[in-house]
């Protein structure tokens, strides 16, 4: 079953139209940014929340960036595999990804299977981390997005009823 962070933090009622921005230092391609917009859209579909991409990285509610190793928040990344990404509970909004992973950036077609043992599907990780950004902890339901394991090379980006029930409890 779904879980929450201690104290059940969530985005406040007056801030349900959330903005997100990418770290301009990453110079991400539109293809990569589109993967994130698809991931946000999955959560927007089942909640009253909206997610709008803005340019100003410093004032957006949610900030997304790829970093290597120690990047200044006391939770350094560790190179290929191990920690892939982290996101903090509301209303922090920081969403960091390990720049050193072999990220699979795929379009919406196909099932995203790739037989590379160290490749990780970006959209799957983004959907999971956005769950944390919204206040969800880990789930005990194996197929859920918030279940704390991921299979390398595999896409798992569809919300399950467990994820939906969890986020709808909060919003």
Contacts with ligand TQI, residue ranges (CB under 6 A): 83-86, 124-125, 128-129, 132, 137, 148-150
Residues 81, 150: contact at Cβ < 8 Å? no
Catalytic choice (31, 55, 129, 165): 129
Taking CB under 5 A as the criterion, which residues in 50-89 touch Zn ion?
73
Token output for 52: 């709008």
Q: Does 96 bind Zn ion (CB under 5 A)?
A: yes
Rounded to whole angstroms, the Cα distance separating 77 from 149 reads: 18
Classify burial at 109, counting beta carbons within 10 Å of its beta carbon; exposed 0-12, middle 13-18, buried 19 or more.
exposed
Rounded to whole angstroms, the Cα distance separating 62 from 91 reads: 9
The binder of 96, among Zn ion, ligand TQI, none, by C-beta within 5 to 8 A per type, is Zn ion
Is position 129 annotated as part of the catalytic site?
yes
Token output for 19: 């903005």
- Output the smallest distance, CB 71 to Zn ion, in A: 5
Task: Give the residue numbers of the binding site for Zn(2+).
Answer: 71, 73, 86, 96, 128, 132, 138, 146
Task: Give the residue numbers of the binding site.
Answer: 61, 71, 73, 78-79, 86, 96, 98, 101, 128, 132, 138, 146
């Amino acid at each position: 079953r779904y879980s929450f962070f201690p104290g059940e933090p969530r985005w406040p009622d007056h801030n349900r139209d959330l903005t997100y921005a990418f770290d301009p230092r990453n110079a991400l391609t539109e293809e990569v940014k589109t993967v994130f917009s698809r991931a946000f859209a999955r959560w927007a579909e089942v909640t009253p929340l909206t997610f709008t991409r803005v340019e100003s990285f410093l004032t957006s509610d949610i900030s997304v960036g790829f970093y290597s190793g120690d990047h200044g928040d006391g939770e350094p990344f560790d190179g290929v595999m191990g920690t892939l990404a982290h996101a903090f509970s509301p209303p922090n909004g920081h969403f960091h990804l390990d720049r050193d992973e072999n990220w699979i950036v795929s379009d919406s077609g196909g099932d995203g299977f790739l037989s590379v043992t160290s490749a990780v599907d970006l959209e799957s990780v983004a959907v999971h981390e956005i769950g944390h950004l919204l206040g969800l902890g880990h789930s005990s339901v194996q197929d859920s997005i918030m279940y704390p394991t991921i299979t390398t090379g595999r896409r798992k980006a569809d919300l399950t009823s467990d994820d939906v029930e969890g986020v709808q409890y909060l919003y």
